[in-house]
Chain A
Amino acid sequence: MIPAPFAYSRASSLDEALDLLLRHGEEARVVAGGQSLLPLMKLRLARPERLIDIGRLDALRGIHRLADGRLAIGALTTYAELLDSPAVMAYALVTDALPTIGDVQVRNRGTIGGAIVHADPASDLPAVLLALDAELVARSAERGERVVPIGDALLGPFTTALERDELLVEIRLPQASGAYGSAYRKLAQRASGFAIAGVAAVLGRTDAPPDGAFDDVRLAVTGVGEQPYRASAAEAALAGTACDAAAVATAVALVTDGIEVGADIHADREYRAAMAAVMATRAIEAALERPR
């Protein structure tokens, strides 16, 4: 399978990449690792007139700690590099999710930024980042930098809030804290590894309430709706409880509340919704087991 012809521009600096996007953003696609885009181009489901290759922009690669303790991850950081980073692996749910993404070869090429902007409705990292309240840093040549919470960035299947001239440059995670437990659990489609239903859970006690209740509960779901989403009704049902079995059962029944649950050859609506509840239960139970 051969992609349709395209023009090729390799950016040698961030400014050059942003200039290329400004000039060609309407008809161009950005390529980094290419592990999502190239298969689509080979199937000719994507036919960009131009590829802007940002793969050499080392300034967008790597992980560092910001002064306020948050973790900043360059958009070009590969899954393999994330797996090698103790600072990243300190987030237990990231440790759960990363090894299940693609395979070794995909993880050697695929990037965290690519996973976000590709915005596959069933991919793992967007759900994990939603549960972590991650922020995205986008840059454009004319408007400079802006920060977008990931919840505002995921708009639909393969659709984000990034403008045509904008490049995702960095992902920021709140500091990992001992007051939180977290986990990611998914039912994977056996051949592709993508989530039929995947749930990321973060359970926190921000001011150590005496009754052991969790006051910061976040549940993010992927593979189920049009895009990864926060299950806010389920979160509200669980917040203020100690996450005992009855509270968890009540909450997970709400995990697809208000969501148009998808159906395909792998899972019909009823099965997918049921599996979302099962994965939510497992993610919550695993998060409770983690050190807090």
Chain B
Amino acid sequence: MDDVAIRLVVNGRARELAVEPRRLLVETIRDDLGLTGTKVGCDTGQCGACTVLLDGAAVKSCTVLAVQADGAEVRTVESLAPDRETLHPLQGAFVEHHGLQCGYCTPGMLMAALDLIAHDPDPDDDAIRAAIDGNLCRCTGYQPIIESIRAGAAAMREGAA
């Protein structure tokens, strides 16, 4: 099938590319744009490792076509520490509170948490649990992740104050 021209703003940078209609957004992010921070875990819309922000809302990029994202703003985990030196406060909290072991689910956890904190800057644990309902972790255990998000939200509130 004919390629379709799309425009995306990815982590603040305008990108133009031509994609097959069946190309998944996660393939465009990882393979066309080389942003491999976003992971593919299950490829069936269940694990949440591929979560990115699409116009500010957390979505599973394995269950969005790249052509559906035409004209949208995409934010991936690479946007959190753009200079690769200073971690985002949420990332710092994951390090501090042992929010990761293998780290494969972490980019998705971070992006899902950012969607939550944008709506609810001071989330309680129930709100955090609900926010990461669509993100699976197979090694760390969820409690340190919940603690990391709670601490990260607090650090972000301090940073904003």
Quick check: B59 and A108 within 8 Å, CB to CB? Answer: yes
Set B4, B20, B57, B135: member contacting A108, Cβ < 8 A:
B57
Quick check: A105 and B59 within 8 Å, CB to CB? Answer: yes
Quick check: B64 and A109 within 8 Å, CB to CB? Answer: yes
Q: How far is the CB of A261 from chain B (nearest CB, A)?
A: 27
Q: What is the total number of residues of chain B having a CB less than 8 Å from a CB of chain A? A: 32
- Interface presence of A38 (CB below 8 A): yes
Mask of B40-62 contacts with A, CB within 8 angstroms, 1/0: 00011110100100100111100
Q: How far is the CB of A292 from chain B (nearest CB, A)?
A: 28
Chain B, residue nearest A109 (CB): B59
- Interface presence of A69 (CB below 8 A): no
Quick check: A42 and B44 within 8 Å, CB to CB? Answer: yes
Set A10, A53, A80, A103: member contacting B57, Cβ < 8 A:
A80
Quick check: A34 and B20 within 8 Å, CB to CB? Answer: no
Chain B, residue nearest A106 (CB): B134
Quick check: B60 and A105 within 8 Å, CB to CB? Answer: yes
- Interface presence of A3 (CB below 8 A): yes
- Interface presence of A158 (CB below 8 A): no
Quick check: B48 and A38 within 8 Å, CB to CB? Answer: no
CB contacts under 8 Å to B, within A27-86, are 31, 34-35, 38-39, 41-42, 51, 53, 55, 80
Residues of A within 8 A of B131 (CB): 104
Q: How large is the interface on A (under 10, 10 to 19, 20 to 34, 35 or more residues)?
A: 20 to 34
Quick check: B67 and A53 within 8 Å, CB to CB? Answer: yes
Q: How far is the CB of B35 from chain A (nearest CB, A)?
A: 18
Instruction: Say yes or no: A38-B43 contact (C-beta < 8 A), given A8-B4, A104-B133, A105-B51.
Output: no
- Interface presence of B130 (CB below 8 A): yes
18 A-B pairs in the complex with CB atoms less than 8 angstroms apart: A1-B43, A3-B22, A6-B21, A6-B22, A8-B4, A34-B64, A34-B68, A35-B45, A38-B45, A103-B133, A104-B112, A104-B130, A105-B51, A106-B134, A108-B57, A108-B115, A109-B63, A191-B46
Question: Interface of A with B (CB < 8 Å)?
Answer: 1-8, 10, 31, 34-35, 38-39, 41-42, 51, 53, 55, 80, 99, 102-106, 108-109, 191
